[in-house]
Each structure stands twice: as structure tokens, then as C-alpha cells.
């Protein structure tokens, strides 16, 4: 589907999804839902990660165990926090060299990303100043959190590249401040309406044109190289 098709359908899609996007539940979430385990204010904890560690970049998909003494445990991934903004993940930095990575994906259709933005927040222990950095699935840094004036940091997930919906966030003590190993930072998400979706369309179209132009140049350059190589071979045979 080209960019023009998205623009043509803007009024229909905009009216249908103006409040919140349609989210898709994972298998684990569906299981927890029918078991009555999903509720508001759920807390995912770093130390219940199903992997042995989150200290390495681009770890495989992981889930976090959420305890419920009445209903039993459930396993949810970080993307769940985009669907339920009342819930959050709690983690900590054990020392000033500790780095935590969290992988997630955008849990709604790419076409809806034209109308909604996703914000990531980090609340930190008092006196701490942690860095929150966002990477796309190719390892490119595409965002870094800044103070929002309310005592926490915030970053916006870019909406101009809908070819990628997988991201990784990194938490580290980037400013040389003291860490608080016994206190926790909190990561949460917020989905908001993209009030400048027409501008986003223009940026995305320009980005797509750039990708196509680059691919065309690479193809043209490859054809020229092949032509030169063949010519050189003919010259060697002639001489």
C-alpha cells in the first residue's frame, strides 16, 4: 500500500480510530484475560524476566511474571504496557555500570500509527538522573528521553517509519550521577492522538521517496559496475 492510499483513507480511518487504536492481544494476554488475571495497575518487574539477564542489547523476546495470590501468575511482555497505561514496569540499576535493555513492539496496525503517537516515560528514584534511549530493530538510535517538567523523562516513538514496529529501550546512568540500587525506576507508556497526522504523512512520504531513491541508485550503480566489469573482460580477451 502506498502513502497516497493512506492519505485517501484519512477521514474514514481517522473517524474510526480517533479515541484509541485497536490493540491485538497476545496469546499470553488472551490466556490471562479469560482466567480473570488482567486488571489495572499491574506491575511487571525486571527481576521476574523469563531470560537470565536483560543486560545485553537485542535480547530475544521476553515476558515478565506478574504474581496474583488469588488468580495465580501471568506472563506479560512490555508491549502490554502500551495497551494498559495504568500498568508499569519496575526495575533498578544495581550500580553505576549497570545497563538494562527492554524489547517491545507496537501492538496495533501500522496504518493506525498515522493517527496515534506512543510516548515512553521513566520515573526515577529521587536524586537520580538516568538515560532512557530508544533504538529501532536495526540498532539505530531513534530517540532519547528528555525532562518533561514534571519530574520525569519522556520520549516519543517516531511515526514516520511504519516499516518497523519493533524497538528496544536502554536504561543507564548516563550522567555520572549516583544510582540508587535499593530504589526503583518505573517505565510506563501513553498513547495519544497524533494531531499533526497530515505532517506525518508528508514526512513519511519523503522518507519513502528517499528509501526508493537510494535503492534505485544502488541498483543503477550495480548495473554500471557489471557493465564495466564485462567491458574489462572483453578488453582482456581482445588484447
The per-residue pLDDT for range 27-44, each reduced to its tens digit, is 889 999 998 998 899 999
- Retrieve residue 57's grid coordinates: 542489547
pLDDT of residue 91: 93
Write down the pLDDT at residue 55.
Answer: 63
Cα 84 to Cα 79, 88, 174, 233, distances in angstroms? 9, 9, 29, 64
| Gap between the terminal Cα atoms of the chain | 52
pLDDT at 229: 44
Report whether 92 contacts 46 (CB < 8 A): yes
| Tens of pLDDT, residues 60-105 | 667 888 888 888 888 899 999 999 999 999 999 999 889 999 999 9
Helices (H), the chain: 3-8, 10-16, 27-34, 80-83, 197-238
The model's pLDDT over 103-139, given as tens digits with 9 standing for 90+, comes to 999 988 877 877 888 999 999 999 899 999 999 988 8
| Entry field: residues in the chain | 239
> Which of 189, 203, 198 is CA-nearest to residue 23?
189
d(CA 129, CA 153): 9
Q: Residue 224: name the closest of 213, 236, 232 by CA.
A: 232
pLDDT of residue 212: 53
Mean pLDDT for the stretch of residues 168-195: 89
Residue ranges of E strands in the chain: 43-45, 64-66, 74-76, 88-91, 99-105, 116-123, 131-136, 141-144, 146-147, 153-156, 166-172, 185-193
**Distance from the Cα of residue 53 to its chain's centroid:** 20
Query: Whole-angstrom Cα distance, residue 106 to residue 23?
Result: 9
Q: Is the pTM of this model over 0.85?
A: no
Q: Tell the CATH topology of 3-195.
A: Jelly Rolls (2.60.120)
* Confidence (pLDDT) at 82: 93
Report the range of poorest mean pLDDT among 118-127, 162-171, 230-239.
230-239
The CA distance from 12 to 18, in Å, is 10
- Answer whether residue 224 shows pLDDT above 90: no
For residue 9, what pLDDT is reported? Answer: 41
The residue with greater pLDDT, 233 or 197, is 197
Q: Which residue has the higher pLDDT, 234 or 187?
A: 187
Give mean pLDDT, residues 11-39. Answer: 75
Q: Which three cell numbers mark 231?
A: 567491458
Per-residue pLDDT at 205: 55
Beta-bridge partner residues of 146:
154
Amino acid at each position: 500500500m502506498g502513502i497516497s492510499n493512506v492519505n485517501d483513507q484519512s477521514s474514514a480511518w481517522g473517524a474510526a480510530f480517533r479515541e484509541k487504536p485497536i490493540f491485538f492481544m497476545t496469546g499470553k494476554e488472551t490466556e490471562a484475560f479469560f482466567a480473570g488475571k488482567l486488571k489495572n495497575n499491574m506491575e511487571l518487574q525486571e527481576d521476574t524476566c523469563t531470560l537470565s539477564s536483560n543486560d545485553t542489547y537485542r535480547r530475544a523476546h521476553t515476558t515478565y511474571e506478574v504474581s496474583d495470590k488469588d488468580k495465580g501468575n501471568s506472563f506479560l511482555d512490555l508491549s502490554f504496557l502500551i495497551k494498559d497505561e495504568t500498568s508499569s514496569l519496575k526495575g533498578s540499576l544495581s550500580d553505576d555500570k549497570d545497563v538494562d535493555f527492554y524489547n517491545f513492539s507496537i501492538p496495533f496496525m501500522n496504518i493506525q500509527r498515522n493517527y496515534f503517537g506512543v510516548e515512553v516515560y521513566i520515573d526515577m528514584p529521587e536524586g537520580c538522573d538516568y538515560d532512557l534511549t530508544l533504538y529501532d530493530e536495526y540498532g539505530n538510535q531513534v530517540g532519547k528521553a528528555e525532562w518533561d517538567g514534571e519530574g520525569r523523562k519522556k520520549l516519543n516513538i517516531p511515526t514516520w517509519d511504519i516499516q518497523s514496529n519493533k524497538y528496544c529501550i536502554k536504561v543507564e546512568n548516563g550522567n555520572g550521577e549516583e544510582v540508587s540500587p535499593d530504589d526503583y525506576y518505573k517505565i510506563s507508556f501513553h498513547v495519544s492522538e497524533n494531531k499533526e497526522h497530515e505532517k506525518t504523512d508528508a514526512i513519511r512520504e519523503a522518507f519513502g521517496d528517499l528509501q526508493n531513491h537510494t535503492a534505485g541508485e544502488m541498483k543503477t550503480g550495480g548495473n554500471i559496475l557489471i557493465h564495466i566489469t564485462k567491458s574489462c573482460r572483453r578488453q582482456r580477451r581482445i588484447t
